[in-house]
Amino acid sequence: MKAKWFIACLLLSSSIAVAAPAHKKAGHHKTGKAKAVKISKAVKPVKIHATEDHRLQLGSAVAMIVDQQSGETLFSRNAASQAPIASITKLMTAMVVLDAGLSMDEPITITEADVDWLRNSGSRLRVGTTLTRGETLQLALMSSENRAAAALARTYPGGMAQFVAAMNRKAAELDMRQTHFVDSTGLHSENVSTAEDLVKMVRAGYHYERIRQMSTAEGYDVVNDNGHRTAYRNTNALVKSPSWDIGLSKTGFINEAGRCLVMQAQIASRPVIIVLLDSWGKYTRIADANRIKKWLESSRTALARLG
């Protein structure tokens, strides 16, 4: 009799533990409910079918992690919400330039028309500086140089208007239905998208070898006619980290968008696409990326133990 009572208690305790809701940690952003984690012994470390996993705490208001090969969503927060994307725009700028088949050796001179009069952002790329189109694209992608991105659009056949039209056509081709562009730099807050759409843009951008190489370069030196050398660095510090294997990178920031970051990276032997928008602090997007990496690696380790 005692044995039966003891077994019944165990079963009751087990059912209560399973039914109990996950503890919700207080935070600034709303979170979804955690769902069960499905573990497979296949190549995939862990399949997460939830919109959000409470084991992964992020500071970015919008976030999405997708398996690049299968298209499976591993984590999602406000991924369908349309928001300004700042210089993430320059990833589309690069694709439009490369799709046009324009000479990368053609010289482009920075003019007053390329100066940012909207936000009066600074630039070390002085008016009168002449670079090749390839160098201009390098600075736009790697260092998020606004004058470089503006010059790329200005020197496009038909000028800025035709360039922006090409950007929106490309977005339509990629089925980015909640995306709209009004300029090549991302300085305008009317450049908007969703995390779901940006995953599509990153996936498309990854197919361009130049974009992969340029966006992940640690630095690039520009030498002017007088022999003066100006060193430019990647706006994503993670590209120089030996613990990261990043295949594509782009950062962005304007006040309306917050700090943004999109990446393609190999984590725990798995190619993933990461989108982080509206990070509230200067370093939050980087910290979030590191938290994502640790989370995916921990999932891989947990699976190996279950092996």
- Give me the active site residues, please: 87, 90, 144
CB environment 142-155: b (16+ within 10 A), e (fewer): bbbbbbbbbbbbbb
Task: Tell me how far the alpha carbon of residue 271 is from its chain's centroid.
Answer: 14
What phi and psi, each to the nearest 5 degrees, are found at residue 35? -120, 175
Structure tokens, 266: 């190999």
CB environment 63-85: b (16+ within 10 A), e (fewer): bbbbbbeeeebbbbbbbeebbbb
Q: What is the 3-state secondary structure (H, E, C) of the chain?
A: CHHHHHHHHHHHHHHHHHHCCCCCCCCCCCCCCCCCEECCCCCCCCEECCCCCCCCCCCEEEEEEEECCCCCEEEEECCCCCEECHHHHHHHHHHHHHHCCCCCCCEEECCHHHCCCCCCCCCCCCCCCEEEHHHHHHHHHHCCCHHHHHHHHHCCCCHHHHHHHHHHHHHHHCCCCCCECCCCCCCCCCCEECHHHHHHHHHHHCCCHHHHHHHHCCEEEEECCCCCEEEEECCCHHHHCCCCCEEEEEEEEECCCEEEEEEEEEECCEEEEEEEEEECCCCHHHHHHHHHHHHHHHHHHHHHHHC
